[in-house]
Amino acid sequence: MSAGVIHRDREILVGQRRKSDRHPLKWEFPGGKVEHGETPQQGLVRELREELQIEAQIGSELARYEYDYPSGSRVHLLFFAVRSFDGEPRARVFEQICWIEAQSLPTLDFLDGDMDFVRRLARGDYARVLSVP
């Protein structure tokens, strides 16, 4: 799974899963599965186009994690900075999207697999890379 950290001014874009989705109403960073033959960055560009209708330029990898859900499924997560994007993000596959300051991210009900990254992002561990004060 590749996920993008999209930032504008002092805020980061996150999406809330739909009620009918797996892990309903949980918050997450936009992105998704990488298809055969794609690099993680190419997959992320495609997913951001499909999910938000934006054209994104992917920056550096911020973090990578493996997370084991209690159900027994394991996910491999790669988080990338999004350097820039064209278009205004639209919630095509989400219940809603919102811009939120990094330090407020832990107040949202994120997917369990994202929580360590959320805490580090809120703490400012990636502020220099993201240019988020």
Question: In this structure, what CATH number is given to the domain that contains residue 47?
Answer: 3.90.79.10
Question: In 10 A of CB 55, how many CB atoms?
Answer: 12
DSSP H or E segment with residue 82: strand 74-86
Tell me which residue range forms the domain holding 29: 2-130
Please tell me the distance from the alpha carbon of residue 103 to that of residue 34, in angstroms, as a whole number: 29
Residue 49: HSE in the Cβ half-sphere, 13 Å Cα cutoff: 10
Per-residue pLDDT of the chain (133 residues), as tens digits, is 999 999 998 899 999 999 999 899 999 999 999 999 999 999 999 999 999 999 999 999 999 999 998 888 898 999 999 999 999 999 999 999 999 999 999 999 999 999 999 999 999 998 877 764 4
